[in-house]
Structure 1
Amino acid sequence: MAILVDQDGDGNFDKERDDDTVTLPVITDDTADGIDDVDLTTAGSKAIIDGAVFLDAVNIGAGTGNYNTFLAIQDDNDDDSIEEGFNSNDTNPLDGSNDEIDQSKTETILLGSIPVTFFDADGDGIEEAYYEFRVDLNESNSAPDTQISLDEFELYASSDNSIEDLTTLRSEELIYDMDANGEVSVLLSEANSSGSGNDDYSVLIPVEKFGDADPATTYVYLYVKMGAAGEDWGVQGGFEEWNLQNAAILQGTKFEDTDGDGVRDVGEEGLGGVFIYADLDEDGEFDFIDNNGNGTFDAGTDTALEQWDITNADGTYSMGGFGINDTSYTVQIREIVPDGYLRTTGDFETVLISSQTDSGEIIQVDPIGNKPLQPSIDLVKEVPQIIDGSGLNGLGGADDAGDQVVYLFTVTNDGELDLTDVELTDPNIDADSLVRLDDVIGDNDDILEVGEKWAYTAVHTVTQDELDSNGDDSPDGPDGDIDNTATVVAQSSAGQVSASDNEDAPLLQIPGIEVLKTVSSVEDGDDFGASEQVDSEGDVINYKITISNEGNFALSGVTMADKVEAYATVDATPVEDGGGFNIGDLDQDGLLDVNEVWEYTASYTVTQDDIDSNGFGDGTIDNVATGDTNETQPDTDDASVPVVQVPVLGIDKVVVSVDADGDNVLNAAGDVIEYSVTVSNDGNVTLTGVTVTDPLTGLNLALADDGILAPGESYTFTGLTYAITQDDLDSNGSVEVGNLATGTIDNTATADSDQTGPVSDDEAVPLALTPAILIEKLVKSVNNEDGTLDEDGKIDTAGDTITYTITVTNDGNVTLTDVDVSDVFEGTDFDTSGLVYVESENADGELEVGETWTWEFTVEATQDLIDANCYPGGDEQITNTASVTAMFGAEQVSAGPSTVHTGIVCDPVLGIDKVVVSVDADGDNVLNAAGDVIEYSVTVSN
C-alpha cells in the first residue's frame, strides 16, 4: 500500500511508504505503539493512502448546517480508551459488537447519498471524483487541541441495510481498507478546527472504488476504530461524528423509441447498455482521465471526472452524490448515443436539484428516448463471363477443369445506418481472388454509407469434381450448373445485417473415350518367321488395351470387350492395383476420370483355322477391342498380327532293308530292297490334296482323309519293295526308273499338295558288282591218227590229234561282253578266232551271269612238235595254255591261264611209207586220161 504524506501542509509531499515514484523519508512510528503513523495534525496537511485522500477539512471550506451525521461513536468508558463501530440501523439494545455507536445519530446510507466532490489530490492539475466522508472530532478534555488517532477505516457495500453485527458486516464486499497492505495510524487534531459543528477532516474515496454499484440500491457501511495509537492519542471522554454533506440521487430510464415520437409508449422497452452521464460542466462531453491512452473511457482503468452509469437491461440507471446546496442548481443528463440510434427526446435532460431536497432523495430524470435506425444491405451476384468456356463470353458453359467463372458482386447499403466491417464471403470462389473494385457509388473508404454501392469481382476455378458430378452441389442434385451463393455481412450500430444472392454458372459435359489396342508380345511366334507374327497353332498373342477419358467429366460403368476376327470373344482382363481397382484408377473411385487411362490385357491363342485361312484372307489376325461407358458411345481399336503361312510338305524315303533274306547286299538279280515313304506336313498350314508317287515301287496314292495333312502330321507308306534285275546289275544301276547315278539303285518318291509344289526324296542303295570270269581248258581226248581213241591219252605218232575244250564261265554277277579267249600252244599263239563256241543260255554274244561258253577244237600233233619235245631237253609233253578276257563296261576281267599237258610217247623208229595221196585229184580221181596226176606221199616215219 503506497502512502504519500504532506505532513507540514506546504502542498508538497515530504514522507512516504512503499511509493516507488518518489524518494522521501519514510513515515515512522511516532507514537511508539509499533505501528507507522501518518501525522496530519498540522493545518493543511494531507495524506494519500492507497488512493484515498485524508486531509484537514479546513482545506475544503466546511460550512454549517449542510451535513448529515450517519455515524457517531463514543467510548463506553472501558479500560482501552478506544472507540469503534459502524453505521447501522440497529436499535437498543445494540449488538455487542457495535455498542459504542450513538444509535440516535447512526444510520445506514445509500451510496447515492454520499456527495461526490472533485479534488486534485496529487497536484497534477486535474480534479478527480471522490465520495466524501467527514469527521468532527469532539474530545472535550483537550479543546481546542483535541487529538485522537484514526486506526482503522473500512468501507463495505451491501444490498442489505439491516446489518447489525461486525461479523456479518465483514462478510460483505470490502470496498476500501486503510490497513489493507500494512497497519497505519492517522494522527488527527482539532487544533485547527473553526469551532463546533464544523468538520475537522475529510476522507475522500475514489468513485471508481465502488465500480458499477447502483447508487440507489447499494448501502454503504463505514467501520472505524479510533484512539488506539497510544496514551496521548486515545479517547478523552468525547465523541466523534462521521458526516456526509447532503446529496441527492438521480434515477432515470432509457427506452427504445421505436416510433420516434419522443414519448415512451406502451410496449416500448428499456434500452440497456447505454452510457449515461451528468454533464457537470455542460460542455456536451463526458470528462475523464484517459489513463490507458486509448481514447475511450474504460471503467476500472480510467478516472471519471463526472458521475456516470450504464443502463441496466431494463433501461434504468442511477447516479448519486449530487450535493444539496444552499442554492438550487440544475444538472444536464446526457447519453452517449449508441450506434444505430437517433435521440428523440432532445440532446439532454435537465434535472433541478433543489436546496430543499432531502439528503438521499431520489430525483427522477425524464425518460431518454432513442429511435433505432434500421440497417439493411443488398447483394446482387452476376456471372458476366466464363473464361475459356464455350460460346459467347464462355457463357455456353464451363467445359474444362480450370475454366474460370467470373463473378461480379454489387453490395448496396439500402438501409438507414452506415455499415462497417463489410465482409463478402463466397464459399466457392478461389482463395485470394476476391477483389474490391472502385465503388459504383461511394468514396472508396471502409464504411458502407447509406446509399453507397460497392463492387467486387472474384473467380471460381472449375474443378473436375464439378464436371464429374454435373453440378451435384445442391439439394436438387445434378442440375448441369455450379450453384453458388454469396453472402455479405456487415455491422451496424443496430447489429449485424446480411444478404445473400446466388447465380448459377452453366456446365457443359462433353463425354468422350478413346480405346487403344496394341500387341504387347507374341509367344512362340517365331517358329517359321520373324518375331511379332504368328505362325503356329497355339501361338499366343498378348494384347494391351487402354481406355482413356478424352472428354471432360468422369465416366461410369466402364466396360471392355474384345473379339478376334469377328467370331472369337476374348476376355479383356483389367490390370489391377492389388486393391481391386484398375491400375489406371488413380483415385480408386471406380470412375474413369478425365486423363485417367485404364489398362486391360487380353490373350488370344491362335488356331489352325487362323493359319490355314491366312487370317481369313487378309494375311493378319485382326483383334478389335470395344470400350464403352454409361455416358458415351462405344469406341473401338484394332490390332493386327501378321500371319506367316509356310506350307511345307516333307517327304522322307527310307531303305528299310536290302536283300533281307540273303546277304543284305545287292549283288544278285532278284535281291529285294524294302522302302518306307513318310510324307509329313513340316509347315504351319494344313495341306490338302496330298499325293505320293514312287514309280520304282509302283506307289501312286492319295492320303487317307481326303488327302489332308495337318501341320506336324505325317503318314508313312510301308512295305514298298523293289527286286533288282540283272539289267540293274549289268547297267550298274543306270537303267532303273528314276535313275540318278550309276552304281546304285536310285529310288525317288515324290509328294505333292494343293498348297505346295512337289517335293521328292530319293534313296540310293549301292550295287555290289563283282564282274568275274573263269576259264578251264581240258583235253577232251587224244585220238590216233586214224581217229581212234588213243586209250593211253598220249601222242605217239605224228598225226595223232588232241581234242581240247575251253570252258569260260561268268562267275560274277554282271553280264560280260567282249569275251576273248587266247590260246598258247606250245608257246605259240593259237589262232582261236575261227573257233566256234557254244553259249549255254542264249546266243546273244553276252556272257550272262552263270553262263558258260564252250570251245572245242582239235590239234594235230606234228612230228616237229613230237621231235621238239622228244629231243633232249624236251619235256615229252605237249603244253597248251588258254586265257580269257571280257569286259564289264570299261572294266576288263580276265581268267587264266588254264594249262593242260598231253604226254608224248617218244619212240624213235624210222619208218617210210609211200602213199598215193590222190589220183586225179582235180579230175575224177581216176587215171583215165593223160595228164591225170597221181599224187604220192612218201612218209618217212620214225
Structure 2
Amino acid sequence: MTSSDITDNLTTDQLATTDTTTTGSTDPVPPLAISLDQADADYAPGETVGITATEVADGGTLTFQVAHLGAGADGILGTADDVLTYDLTGTGTPWTVTDGGASDLDGVVNGSIQTSWYVNGDAANQAFMLTATNDSGNTATTVFTDAPPTTFAYPDTHIDITADNTIVDAAGARFSSRDTVIFNHLVSGSSGTGNWSVFAQIQNKGAEQGFNSADGVLDEKTSSQHNMVIALNTLVKVTADGTVDPNGAYYAFRLDMHQTGATTFLSLDQLKIYQSANGSLGAGSFAAGPDTAGTDPNFHFISGNTTLAYNMNAGGANSVLMDAEYDSGSGGGGDVIVLVPTANFNPANGNFLYFYTAMGFQGGDWSGSGTFEEWSALSQPATFSISGTKYEDLTGDGKTGDDVAWTHDPVTVFIDEDNSGTLTAGDLSTTTGAGGAWSIGGLTLADVGKSIYEVVPDGSEQTGTLVQTVGNPGSG
C-alpha cells in the first residue's frame, strides 16, 4: 500500500476527523445538585433533615428555602397543579451558606455545602420542597415528606387518624385525632360538667397491652392512683361532635401517648370494654398471650362474671394508626379521643368497666417507644362515704368483746391521700363524735385502697388493727 493510500484512509475515517472545538467544550458544567441524608426522604417531627449541595463553585454561596408542598385541585402530589405555600413552621425563611464558611457543616472549601433544616411539629403528614439557588440564579430542588410508616406486621383494616383534624367512624365507634370539633369541645374548650379522670397507664417497649388493674398484671404501671376500675354511672354522655349532653349517644375516652424522639407513630390494635359487678378484677382473672408484634394476644377474662360491651375487632381485624407528635408529654390535652356508643352498655351487666387495649402490635415504626400511654375517661366521679366507731381497749388485748365506745376527747381519723403515713393538708379527715362514731364523705373510686389512720391521742397506744383501707363500695 502506498503512502497516499494510508493518508486517504485516515482522512476519510470518521474516528480520525479533526476536532475543531476548544478543549473541554464538549463537557458541560455539571448542574447544581442537592441530596438528603435519608434514602426515603421521610422525616418525623423532631428530626433534622441533613442537606448536601454539590457542584458548587469553590467558595460559592447558596440560598436555601423550604416550602410546604400541597396537592392542587386534583388532590395528588407530584402533578402539574401542585402548589407551594409557606404556612408551616420554618417554611418561607431562607438561609444562606457559603462553601467553607462558618455555616457550612463540613467547614471546607471543596465545592460542596452541608446544612440542615429542623422538622417542626406541624410537619406531620405533609410534603416539602427544598430549593437551593446560587449567585448565578441556577437552582436545584428536591422533595421530602413526613409520612406515616408503610410497613405492617399483619394485614388488617387500617383506621388512619395520623393526620391532624381527622375523624373516622369505624369499628362501631368514632376515632378522632387532634384539632377536630370533638377535641375543641372536650379538650381545647370546656368539657362542661365532666372531668378527664385517668384510669390506666400502660408501658412497654415494642408491643404493649393492659387494662385498668392496679395489680400491674400485664404492662400496666403499678399504681392505684393511675390504674383503677371505672364506674359506668360516672361517665358523662356526649354527642357525636363532643358536646356534653345528658342525652348524648356516646361516652368519651382519651388517649395521651408519650412516644419519644422520632418514634411518634403507634398502632392501637385491640380495644375491649367489659362490664362486671365485680370491682376488683386483677391477677388470675384473665388470660392473654405475649407482647409479640404480628400476633393476637387474645385477651379475655376467665373469671369475674364479665360481659364484653365493646370490641373494636368484633367485625374483623382493625388497627387504628395514630401519631403522638401533636401533643408530647402529660397533661397537654391528649392525642386521640374515642367515642363509644352508650347503647353498647347495659347497667344490668354491672357498674364496673374494664378497659383493655393492645398497642404497637403492628411492629416496626408502629411500636411503643418504652414510655407510657395513658387512658382517661370523661366522667363526673360519684362519691361515697365510709364510717366507723372508735373503741377504747380497756384490757390492752386488741379488739375483743370487752372494748367500750370512746368517750374521751375527739380523735382525728384520716384517709392518707399522699401515702405519707401522717396527717397532711391534702388528706380527708374527721373527728370522732358521741360514742366514738366517725364518718368521712366525698370519697371517689380514686380513694379505694387508701390507708385509714387515726392520730393516736397523747398517753394512748393503738392496739388491734393498726391500719385499715378504703374498700370498693361496689365490690360486695
* TM-score, normalised via structure 2 length: 0.40
State the structure with bigger RCO (CA 8 A, min sep 6), 1 or 2. Answer: 2
**What is the TM-score with the length of structure 1 in the denominator?**
0.21
User: Which structure has the larger Rg?
Assistant: 1
